[in-house]
Structures are given as structure tokens and as C-alpha cells.
Amino acid sequence: MLTTKQKVLRRFWYAVMPLSDLANGPRPFRLLDEDIVLFLGPDGSPAALRDRCCHRTAKLSRGWCKDGQIVCGYHGWTYDSTGKLVHVPQFPVQQEVPNLSTPAYHCQARYGYAWVALDEPLAPIFEVPEDSDPSFRYVPQFYEIWNTSALRMMENSFDNAHFAFVHQGTFGQADQPLPDKYEITETDYGFEAETLITVINPPIQHRISGTDAATTTRHMRNKWYMPFCRRLDIEYPSGLRHIIFNSATPIDDSHIQLVQWLYRNDTEEDCPAQLLNDWDYKITREDKDIIESTDYDTPIDVGRRAEANMVSDRPGMIMRKRLMKLLEDHGEAEVYRAA
């Protein structure tokens, strides 16, 4: 599936940029192969416009912000957060500003990020109860480009069979290749998947897991939010919760912006954020290295038999089935590269 060719994918919310990155002016981003610019409006809320001035097509992201509006760096034409042209400095004061605009996109601030949907969203951004729970702390983790597709990253997130091989350097048990099974319940937004796995517990993970035992268990209650977001909810026997959220935001067909943030029910003194990030960074490097070696054109129509499958692939197969139905429900067929 070539994500940029499937129009319905424009109707979902994607975490695009940390709000903190917008503090010093407009910033560019490419979402589903469309160039957009983000900036903060007069009330501090993020806004997203097409990154083109309607005068001479200069990138608005090369300009600056003034009073919550974006000023084109070429001729100073100024737009508000709805994309409407509000000021042309070359016009006399008495001359009316033309009724022109540049396209605006749906944009909201949630969980420390600006979220964007290019077309009318099919559903609201998912809720995160821990974000307003004082017993949990928020830890921003990663914001980086991966050379892969969003579906490759998502299905890997629910693939228990790769732990023993990909994660031998962190928590995987090389002598235990038989994957634990997920109990999966499909929902309107995707699915919920629960499992209990045994993992290696090296010294670096002792403060993270809350035990110094050689191995420990992870009770995982995870969620997949269509099309490319997930919740990884890990509970250790110590009672510690390690809850990761990801948005595999599609830049184009072969690149994603991997957005990851974390909630923990402990304190900075119990386990420093840097230790948490260092550990999760090491794990994600293992994933990144192998996922970037795969073909980004991930098939969703299993009838094409483009890839072999096994029983433990069930979460990914459900994703493919649901995405295929999504396309069909909106009058689309899977678009993929010709053989």
C-alpha cells in the first residue's frame, strides 16, 4: 500500500510536531507528501496551512509570525490561522485586501504535540487518561525520521515473534523463540491486545522494572488506533507502569516521523527520565535497523499473496484486513507499486 495514494488516510489525525518547536516561529512539515507549515495562532493554539503563499508560491515556512499571524518572507503578505489573507503591505491603507487564502488544515494541540488531519477527520484524537492523572508523569521521548512505512512500524509493534531475534541485545530471550499469544478484541477504532511475556531484566532495567531479578514479566495491555497510532501499556509485577504512545506519522510512502512519548507512575527520583529514554532508545534502535531493511510498500490485500504469514502475525493481519475494509468502505482500492 502506498499511503500517499490512499485518500481516506488524509482523514485521520497524526502527531506532527512538538508544540515547543513552534515557540520561535513557523515550521515546515511534509505530511502524506503534502508540504504544510505550522505556527501558533494569537491564542497560542497551533495552526496548519499549505506551505505556499498565494502570491508567488514562496514557502510560508521561510517567513515569520507576527501577532499570531504568519508573514510571507518574500513580499510580506500575511495570513491568519484560517489561511485567509489579511494584509498586503504594498497596498495603500484604503485599498481593500483581496479575498484570497491558502488552504488550511485541521489542527489541534494534544499531549505536547500539534496534530493535523488534512481532510475532515473520521474520528477525534484518542483519549489518554494518564495525561490528566496526577499519579503519572509525562516523558517526551523520540521525534525522528525512519526510512520505512507507517504500517511496517505498526505491525512490528504487535509482533511478539521478533523479540527473541531483534531484541537479543536488550530484553529478548534468544533461547525462547516461541512467541506468546495475544488475546485480541477488535474495536471500532482498531483493537485491544493483551498478553503476558517473560523478558530478560539486565541491570540497566532494574529501576525501570522495579526488580533486580534476572528475568521479569510484562503484562501488556496494548491498543491499536487506526491507522498508525498505538498504545504500549506495560505493567511489571512491582506495580510500575510503562505506557508508551506512538504516532507513525507518514511523511511520504517510504518515510515516517516516529513520535513517541511515555507515562510512568513513579518519580524522577525513582527512575530518571534520561535512563528511561536511554533504555527505550536502545530498544528502538534494534527495531529501526531491521524495519528499515524491509520493503516500505506493505501489502494489505492478503489475496495478492505478496508475503508469507504465520500464526503469530495475527495482529498485523487484522490491521491489514481492517485497512482493506477502510479503503473499500470509502470507494478505494489498494494502490501499490507495479511488479
Residue 64, pLDDT above cutoff 70: yes
Task: Give the separation between CA 27 and CA 7, rounded to whole angstroms.
Answer: 25
Query: What average pLDDT does the segment 197-202 reach?
Result: 87
Enter the C-alpha cell of residue 117. 488531519
- CA-CA distance, 116 to 69, in Å (whole number)? 18
* CA–CA separation, 198 and 219 (whole Å): 9
Question: How sure is the predictor about 163, in pLDDT bands with cuts at 50, 70 and 90?
Answer: low
**The pLDDT of residue 165 is above 80:** no
Residue with cell 505550522: 38
Query: Rounded mean pLDDT of 78-92?
Result: 94
Q: What is this structure's pTM? A: 0.93
DSSP 294: S
Amino acid (one-letter) located at 285: R
Residues 6+ apart with CB under 8 A from 285: none
Q: Which uninterrupted H or E stretch holds 126?
A: none
Which of the two residues, 12 and 172, has the higher pLDDT score? Answer: 12
Distance CA 66, CA 69 (A): 5
Work out the angle between the directed axes of helices 273-291 and 150-157 (0-180°, nearest 10): 120
The one-letter amino acid at 257: Q
Cell output for 79: 495570513
Sequence letter at residue 87: H
Angle formed at CA 267 by CA 262 and CA 272, multiple of 5 degrees: 70
pLDDT at position 128 over 90: yes
Instruction: Check residue 182 and report its DSSP letter.
Output: P
Q: What is the DSSP letter of 64?
A: E
Cα–Cα distance for residue pair 332/6, rounded to 1 Å: 7
The length of the chain, given as a count of residues: 339
Residue 77's pLDDT is what? 95
Q: What is the pLDDT of residue 339?
A: 65
Run of H or E residues at 228 = none
CA distance 66 to 86: 12
Residue 289, burial from CB neighbour count under 10 angstroms (0-12, 13-18, 19+): exposed
**Is residue 160 predicted with pLDDT exceeding 70?**
yes
How crowded is the C-beta side of 171, counted as CA atoms within 13 Å? 24
Residue type, 228: F
From CA 142, how far away is CA 138, in angstroms rounded? 13
